[in-house]
Amino acid sequence: TLEPCAHFGRTPPCADALIAAGVARVVIAHADPFAGVDGRGTAKLREAGILVESGLMAGAAREINRGFLSRIERGRPWLRVKLAMSLDGRTALASGESKWITAAAARADVQLWRARSSAILSGIGTVLADDPALSVRLANATDADMAPLPPLRVILDRELRAPATAQVLDGSLPTLVLHGAGARPIDGRFDGVELAAVEIRQGRLDLSAVLAVLAARGVNEIQVEAGPTLAGALFAAGLVDELLLYVAPVLLGDNARPLLTLPALGEMAARWKLGVLDQRMIGADWRLLLRPLEA
């Protein structure tokens, strides 16, 4: 699906392995824009006398490699926001209670999307309200050897307010807490995680800077599991590539919490437009995969 690499990274060059194997013909779906490759793999194969053809099913290959290509071409990971709501567009009761809007099948499905992600991102509001573990729990991964590489847990905590009892601070999984430059830990509760400062813009962590930090760490694909404020801010900043939305056949009423906190619109023409990429039933719930449409 991608041009064979021509450089030493975590593994030796794939192009060298193909040459050593005596392969006569290589079909490449998509070129690799990474500076260490970018045509060098193809050139090395051709210099060895191998027939190289490219472009077959390039669109499908781009979809498979969307996280990697996003990081290389745009300098930021592919960002997916996961949300669950009732039929009347609510995500939690006014008290904050949200367990559970969706049924077990939908919650299990979320684990598969977590497993394909490089990082799971949330905010301090969700940590304080729900104390999530943000781990991958696959029903069929009973053997440790079958478990996926755990995604990096990323918490946006501007003032380092996470409590010592928070599951995301337990040191069991790779965890990065991003905070404002002036914040300092008051005790050892953050000893089991990594801390990094991010620029503050308009009273909150600069979301573009957050994504740049993660891209620099090699993060290709992020799944955001957060409340309406952070999720809405990402939409407003134009940083959301995909919305994974679970809809449960329940009603929570108009006092319950909204799906997203977005700027008020002055006219219908300014509404946020999304295209439906996929829609299907997951148990008793609906799952929609949507992407923002260009204005």
Q: What is the pLDDT of residue 67?
A: 95
The mean of the pLDDT values for the chain is 91
Count other C-beta atoms under 10 Å from residue 243's C-beta.
Answer: 23
Q: What is the mean pLDDT of residues 190-216?
A: 95
Please give the single-letter amino acid code of residue 22.
G
Q: How far apart are CA 104 and CA 84, in angstroms?
A: 13
| pLDDT over 90 (residue 11) | no
Is the pTM value of this prediction over 0.75?
yes
Helix and strand numbers (H, E) in the chain are 8, 15
Contact 13, 4 (CB under 8 A): yes
Distances (CA, A) of 59 to 74, 84, 256: 18, 29, 41
Among 51-65, 99-113, 136-150, the range scoring the smallest mean pLDDT is 136-150
Tell me which residue of 34, 78, 84 sits closest to 239, measured CA to CA: 78
Q: How far apart are CA 67 and CA 131, in angstroms?
A: 28
Look at residue 294 in the predicted model and tell me its pLDDT. 78
Does the pLDDT at position 147 exceed 60?
no
Q: Buried b vs exposed e over 17-37: b needs ≥16 C-beta within 10 Å?
A: ebbeeeeeebebbbbbebeeb
Please give the domain boundaries of the chain with CATH numbers for all domains.
Answer: 14-63 (no CATH), 75-292 (3.40.430.10)
Pick the range with the lowest mean pLDDT from 118-127, 134-143, 231-240.
134-143
**d(C-alpha 146, C-alpha 168), whole Å:** 23
In the predicted model, is pLDDT for residue 170 greater than 70?
yes
State the pLDDT confidence band at 118, using cuts at 50, 70 and 90.
Answer: very high
Whether the predicted pLDDT of 247 surpasses 90: yes
Average pLDDT over residues 246-260: 92
Would you place residue 2 in the very low, low, confident or very high pLDDT band (cuts 50, 70, 90)?
A: confident
Q: How far apart are CA 174 and CA 151, in angstroms?
A: 8
Residue 270 — pLDDT band, cuts 50, 70, 90? confident
CA–CA distance, 6 with 37 (Å, rounded to integer) = 6
Q: Report the length, in residues, of the chain.
A: 295
> How confident is the model over 70-83, as pLDDT tens digits?
999 999 999 999 99
